[in-house]
Amino acid sequence: MTRSAAARGRRGWLVAALAAAVAALLGSVLVASAWAGAFGSGTAARWGFGAGPAGLSGSSSRGVPALPGAVVNVSLVNMGGPMMGQRTMMGGSMRLSADRASVPAGTVSFAVTNSGSVDHELVILPLADNQQVGERPIGPDGKVDEAGSLGEASNTGGQGAGQGIRPGSSGWVTLTLTPGRYELVCNVPGHYGAGMYTELTVS
């Protein structure tokens, strides 16, 4: 072997070692992400991986534990800052979206993440055969009637009803749903009118 060949050989070995180190690092990050994703960023935080909006998990459902049954991931968003009043938010500038349009009947869990800049919530309402989403009458308080509600996720970092899901946080709820059509709404004053509703079919 010539000197230059030996040098190339050493360089080649160094490059290979570097690549292996990078691969190992990436692998550990992926493993950490997988753990965070599987057990929620709350677990990741306890394990010291870091959590929260800037956490390693990168998950859109922050701090949500493993939920039973069919899981529907719901995203709550709004454009504009918190100073925008509900009047200026009218006209579909807020959105409530689910990652699936239908689920089998039985145990259904909703993992709800607020990616907006103001508090939001999720309320699950029945939808009559002749009723379409977005058509509920809005009261003078800016809300729709919650009669017949099957449940809600409005608890920051927790299950069930609360004071609203704060920006950058998640809430969740598990229900037993029978076949039918349902309307998922955010009933913070003004938000239904601004477009925060979607349909879910249970079959």
Residues of this chain that bind Cu ion (CB under 5 A): 120, 186, 188, 191, 196
| Beta carbons of 190 and 80 less than 8 angstroms apart | no
Question: How far apart are CB 165 and Cu ion at their closest, in Å?
Answer: 9
| C-alpha closest to that of 74 among 172, 144, 155 | 172
Question: How far apart are CB 176 and Cu ion at their closest, in Å?
Answer: 25
C-beta of 62 vs 120, nearer to Cu ion: 120
Question: How far apart are CB 122 and Cu ion at their closest, in Å?
Answer: 9
Alpha-carbon distance values, 58 to 73, 120, 151, 155 (Å): 15, 21, 28, 21
C-beta of 74 vs 127, nearer to Cu ion: 74
Cβ-based neighbours of 143, under 8 Å, separated by 6 or more: 187, 188, 189, 192
C-beta of 62 vs 191, nearer to Cu ion: 191
| C-alpha closest to that of 166 among 111, 119, 116 | 119
Question: How far apart are CB 188 and Cu ion at their closest, in Å?
Answer: 4
C-beta of 104 vs 160, nearer to Cu ion: 160
